Structure 1
Amino acid sequence: MRILIRTSKTAIWARRIGRIAIPLVILPVGMHHLGLIDSPSFFTVAILALIVSALAFLVGLLALIRLWFSGDQGWGKALSGLFLGLICLAPFAYYGYYAWRYPPVTDIATVPRGELPLLFLPDTAKMPPPKLITPDEQARIFPNATTRTYPLDVVSLFGVVERLVENEGWDIHLNVPPGPDGTPGRINARITTIPGWREEAVFRVAPIANGAKVDMRSASINAPHDFGSNGSRIARFMVNLDNEVTTLLRDNPNVNQPTAAEDEEPAPSVEGEGN
């Protein structure tokens, strides 16, 4: 006599829910990144995807427990649901970690924000009030996100900044070189993060006694939390700028440098202020 072993319905549902979670996680990210859906809709779908992913993981785990005691078939389906749920939960865990690590801030700058205005007025007009941190908190969390001064003329320094911005692949919407009358150079660039949040980086390269300085602002346009991206972006860019200028001065000792008057203070070092 042949004994039929039934397949666990819980295991079947675990795999079904896991298969639903995959497109719920992937499609909204792609649509938000391309601007096909707005941020509030993306946030709503992301919450739904989180719930479905967690449900797939829990149902898969429950199915494995029941299979252990019942002896039914469906181990592959239960493991599939568990694995798909776990994969879909991974990005939420990733951003959850950075939400815990960094304070809820959406705007970071090396100088008062009003000195580096954002360019995208149609977007910024719809922005909620920015979430800020104190200067002490910024210095503690992002110690490299500070103004940089270099013993280099403003035109040469602007060229280095411009090249680094282009190498980042950011979408430059404003590029104004420094003027001969001492007007600072300015660059505004748009960044789109992987989940589709829009952010803007602003650069100002201004002449000073014996050199030039670089300030930077990075702000989120449509995100409730930047997960540390703005402060990390400034810190990373400034460190790269330090390295580029150091290499330039080392390999080109005759590069254009401002002439210091005898009664002026010595030229500032390549190191960033406050480091």
Structure 2
Amino acid sequence: MAGVYKFKTSRLARWALWLSRLTIPVAILSFLLMRFGGIHPSLAVYCFGASLVLALLSILVGLAAIPAIWSEGQVGGQRIIGTVLRSMVVILPALALAYLYFTRPAFSDLSTNPIDPPEFETAWQMREDADNSLDVVSLAEREQQALAYPELASIRIDHPIEVVYLLVADELAKQKWKLISATDHALSADGSRFEAYYRSVITGLRYVVAIRLRPDGEEATILDMRSANLWGPHDLGRNANSITGFLSSVEQRVAQGIAAFELQFEEIQRQRRLQLGPMPRPKPLDLINDDAANS
């Protein structure tokens, strides 16, 4: 009669798999809280940290189960593999974030003009109590920014400020950034200004940008841009990417031609003239001479 062997199942392997099954739901919960929950990002980060701790703990428990599985023939090898695969779903994104954290300069506020950056005048409306201050950072930190990101610089556009204003407004709409305020250069001594707000598609973190246009003569415009994250001491390189991406898109559209915005500006001028009504015609010269003779 053939014998029936019963292999003992590793309890540690079972616990490791159970812990790993908790990591993904907790990580998904942290994502949903940050992206759609409307809570402060710090709470969602703590939730993601809890999922990371569970993932590491499940791997440690799985490693502790290996000696018994190997030497005593206990069942649990497949559970260990499942534990590792589930844990990697959380650990790999955490490693990617850690890489960005340690390889990118630790800034939360960047500008193309460190000497005279655009100021946030209305973006404070988007702040919460525990968010970063939107005040201009110290000169020493701005010097560090210039050294860390030498590619961030003002750009000169060979078009009048009125045309560039329309181009920037259209680019903001194209980027799907929420416009907070827009000031025409005719109403401000500091040129035209835009302030906008957007959220990261993946993490839901909030960012604000300020754009300033100043005339450089009558046929050119200087564009400066500033970007800041509302929460956290480190932007993981996102602010620099936002600035370079926006400016590159503007320069590309200028290179392709912006005749449509020139025509749009001409139409705006025409509408303004119509609102002012007909201009008074000068008095004919013969009538002026008659008035002078009669007097």
Task: Give the corresponding residue for 1:13.
Answer: 15
Larger radius of gyration: 2
Render the CA deviation track for 1:239-275: whole Å, top value 9, x for unaligned: 22222212226xx5x968xxxxxxxxxxxxxxxxxxx
Letter in 1 for 2:180: H
Query: How many pairs does the alignment contain?
Result: 254
* 1:146 Cα deviation from its structure 2 partner: 1.4
CA distance in 1, matches of 2:66, 2:47: 29
Task: Give the corresponding residue for 2:121.
Answer: 117
The answer on whether the counterparts of 1:64 and 1:79 sit within 8 Å (CA) in structure 2 is: no
CA distance in 2, matches of 1:242, 1:172: 21
Q: Which has the higher contact order (CA 8 A, sep 6+)?
A: 1
CA distance in 1, matches of 2:126, 2:229: 14
Which has the higher mean CA deviation after the structures are superposed, 179-188 or 140-149?
179-188
The counterpart of 2:247, out of the listed 223, 238, 243, is 238
The answer on whether the counterparts of 2:21 and 2:86 sit within 8 Å (CA) in structure 1 is: yes
Letter in 2 for 1:159: L
- SS of the aligned residue for 1:23 comes to helix
Render the CA deviation track for 1:173-198: whole Å, top value 9, x for unaligned: 22334438876322222121222321
Aligned CA distance change for structure 1 residues 7 and 90 (closer, same or farther; 3 Å)? same
The answer on whether the counterparts of 2:30 and 2:47 sit within 8 Å (CA) in structure 1 is: yes
CA distance in 1, matches of 2:129, 2:7: 63
The answer on whether the counterparts of 1:116 and 1:203 sit within 8 Å (CA) in structure 2 is: no
Q: What 5-or-longer segments of structure 2 have no aligned partner?
A: 264-295
Render the CA deviation track for 1:180-239: whole Å, top value 9, x for unaligned: 887632222212122232111111222221301111111111223211111221122222
CA distance in 2, matches of 1:6, 1:154: 78
Render the CA deviation track for 1:133-181: whole Å, top value 9, x for unaligned: 7444323432332111111111221222222222222222223344388
State TM-score, norm by structure 1: 0.80
Q: CA RMSD in A?
A: 2.8
Aligned CA distance change for structure 1 residues 211 and 121 (closer, same or farther; 3 Å)? same
The answer on whether the counterparts of 1:148 and 1:214 sit within 8 Å (CA) in structure 2 is: yes
Runs of 4+ aligned residues of structure 1 deviating over 4 Å after TM superposition are 128-133, 180-183
**1:52 has 2:61 as partner:** no
The counterpart of 1:162, out of the listed 163, 169, 174, is 169
**1:206 has 2:214 as partner:** yes
Q: More helix per residue: 1 or 2?
A: 2
Letter in 2 for 1:200: V
**1:196 has 2:204 as partner:** yes
